[in-house]
Chain A
Amino acid sequence: MRCSVTLDAPADYGGWRRAARDLLGAGIRPEEVSWHTPGDAPELFAGTAPPAARPAALSVPRDFLELAELAVRHSDGERFALLYSLLWDGRRDPGLLRNPAEARMVRLHAMARAVRRDAHKMHAFVRFREIDTPEGERSVAWFEPEHHIVEAEAGFFQRRFAALRWSILTPRRCAHWDGEALGFTDGARRADAPAGDAAEDLWRTYFASIFNPARLKPDAMRAEMPKKYWKNLPEARIIPELMQGAEGRLRAMLGQEAKPPARRQKPGRDAG
């Protein structure tokens, strides 16, 4: 029997858990289930809804559920099927879900890691631009996450910026905070976000000044701040310039001959 499960949202963890319990209870094998989320093409929705059965009690390690909760946010279309197949096999082989070296578990760990990294990069690389609106100031950011993380990560920005009113716009989902409640709307376009902010010039000045041209290591930079993020980072615009200038600036320093000491500042005189 082929079953088709349609979840409420791309990262619908609760829905996946409920469906998995029903499917396990009805003894439906992983290869008989197809998993869908609202955005999928309709022709994929072959199969019937899972039969009503007594849901199976899920007794699985806590760690596994934590991993699962992260992994459902991954953009990999097979995420729900992978998780269900692990649950299925985990019933006969309870050690499986604890074994970090088993091939499917390795994949699950990798997915969870990718989601965590994406979330971390979102905390780091969202850049708000402030605009005046009839209701007052609003901070608006445009960001392009790789996975379905906007709803899960909105809380981070709420806790940090509870005093502001803000929106984070992304292609698939947008989060808004009005000072009292979080709200979510469908995806937006880059053009919907403000194009600049007066503070960005100062920020670029800082970025250029804190960089040490004697230690050029662009690979290390790109490993942590991959190029795909650059287009939405106001400071990234000046990176090529900084790298070109670096060699010359360093040579100027090294070539500089030691000068006789300048007249010593008088203690007590502040520089202004």
Chain B
Amino acid sequence: MELRAKLALLADAAKYDASCASSGSEKRDSTQGGLGSTEGMGICHAYAPDGRCISLLKLLLTNACIFDCAYCINRATSNIRRARFTVDEVVRLTLAFYRRNYIEGLFLSSGIIRSADYTMEQLIRVARTLREQHGFLGYIHLKTIPDAAPELLAEAGRWADRLSINVELPQIASLKELAPEKDLPAIHGAMGELSTHIADAKEARRTAGRAAPPRFAPAGQSTQMIIGADNSTDGQILGTSDGLYKQFRLRRVYYSAYSPIPDASAALPPQPPPLLREHRLYQADWLLRFYDFTTEEILSGGEDGMLDLEADPKLAWALKHRDDFPLDLNKAPREALLRVPGLGARNVDRILEARRHSRVKLADLARLRVPLRKVAPFLVAPDHRPPPGQIDATGLRQKLLNPSAFAAAQPAQLSLAL
């Protein structure tokens, strides 16, 4: 098969992985030789009409697979054309795209061929060739095969910026049903191993002084869960994420709304879940990591373990905790302001800064581009006092759910302003 046809097939098969992040690695550049740089910030070199960021060349080495995960287009029983890149082809494509500034680097994954070790070795060879033979300094994300030998995981971390193992489904029962060959304890075991390596390398870096310490996936590890392929609730999903963040110090959990695939398995729902559900999960995940919300608090905004689809999770929480509001804009502590719907962390910090100089008014918030309509019922300011009873009014929810603002709030990718 010619290169272009392979590229079409093996990029198409890779697109169900939501991650395209290229941020948070070590700083390095080519002024002492080599090709490329990573400066901490991720760069989206293009956006596809699905609104998603294209930062990395995201490919499968092969879409052949001996596993038979029902939700996956590459499963053993899927009627699709199979193809396989050579190591050299992936290396050449990566370099050609990188030199022209199309990409930040490579995200390489693969179906499992022959064995976990064999597959992992192939992925590692691509990364090693890029780094050693071509002095490639761009970003590399390698998918990690959980059952691969520990030495292989260790080597993968030497070449890659990020490693990831997808847990795919939030419950062990669904994994058994939909991905019978996947082994959750093995996945957790591998994640634990990566997490130890990552922490050790970080510690070595901190204490090593000038000697170059061994590097291991400086951009950490991440995972992905498919949303809507099984009957897991948002509560189960967020609970799993919370556990993974705590146990394995994951950088990110990605949520990927189950996407209808050609030649779908009969074990799957025929319709995709609303993309909004995926978006709400990302917002909830954000609250979990950066706004000091617990899973229980977030879920208390919804019903029966599901997030409110109409309102973002912070607004949904606030509407069910109206006794905590309105807050005095000039007196409330940081933790409390962070819980005001419509106030993001950056603006909260700006408000705290501005408070040191003068009393902050609602009009000042307008200049900080805070959505006034949204925050007004929850705040008291020198120039603003919500009408008495407004916070408890039953109509408040409807008033705040302006359907047109809603559509506009659909995410670009992950730049979530809460």
Contacts and interface: CB of A to CB of B under 8 A. Distances in A.
Interface of A: 95-96, 98-101, 103, 106, 120, 123-130, 139, 141, 156, 158-164, 197, 199, 201-203, 205-221, 223-225, 233, 235, 239, 242-243, 246, 250, 252-254, 256, 258-259, 261-265, 267-272
A41 to B, nearest CB: 33
Contacts of B135: 163
B58 A127 contact: no
Nearest to A214: B259
Nearest to B65: A265
B308 to A, nearest CB: 21
B12 A209 contact: yes
Given A212-B52, A217-B49, A223-B412, A160 B15 contact: no
B78 A220 contact: no
Contacts of B271: 254
A253 B261 CA distance: 6
Main secondary structure of the interface of B (DSSP, over half): loop
16 contacts: A98-B356, A101-B365, A124-B46, A127-B101, A128-B101, A160-B30, A163-B135, A202-B3, A212-B52, A212-B259, A214-B272, A216-B49, A243-B49, A253-B261, A256-B263, A269-B64
A199 B96 contact: yes
A158 B66 CA distance: 45
A227 to B, nearest CB: 12
Interface in B334-354: 350-351, 353-354
A207 B65 CA distance: 24
Interface in B57-87: 57-58, 62-66, 68, 76-79, 82-84
Contacts of B350: 100-101
B265 A206 contact: no
A95 B12 contact: no
Given A211-B48, A221-B47, A254-B271, 9 more contacts: A98-B357, A101-B354, A127-B101, A162-B30, A205-B7, A207-B48, A218-B49, A235-B46, A259-B263
Contacts of B45: 124-125
A268 B30 CA distance: 41
B30 A139 contact: no
A268 B101 CA distance: 38
A221 B62 contact: no
Interface of B: 1, 3-4, 7-9, 11-12, 14-16, 29-31, 33-37, 39, 41, 43-54, 57-58, 62-66, 68, 76-79, 82-84, 93, 96-97, 99-102, 113-114, 135, 257, 259-266, 270-272, 275, 350-351, 353-354, 356-358, 360, 364-365, 367-368, 408, 410-413
Contacts of A239: 49
Contact of A218 (B7, B51, B77): B51
Nearest to A241: B49
B364 to A, nearest CB: 4
Given A100-B368, A128-B101, A224-B53, A262 B77 contact: yes
Contacts of A130: 99-100
Contacts of A163: 30, 33-35, 135
Among the interface residues A101, A125, A141, A269, which one has the most CB atoms of the partner chain B within 10 A? Answer: A101
A219 B51 contact: yes
Nearest first, the 7 A-B pairs at minimum CB distance are: A220-B51, A271-B82, A217-B51, A271-B64, A258-B266, A101-B364, A261-B77
A96 to B, nearest CB: 8
Contacts of A123: 43
Contact of A215 (B33, B41, B50): B50
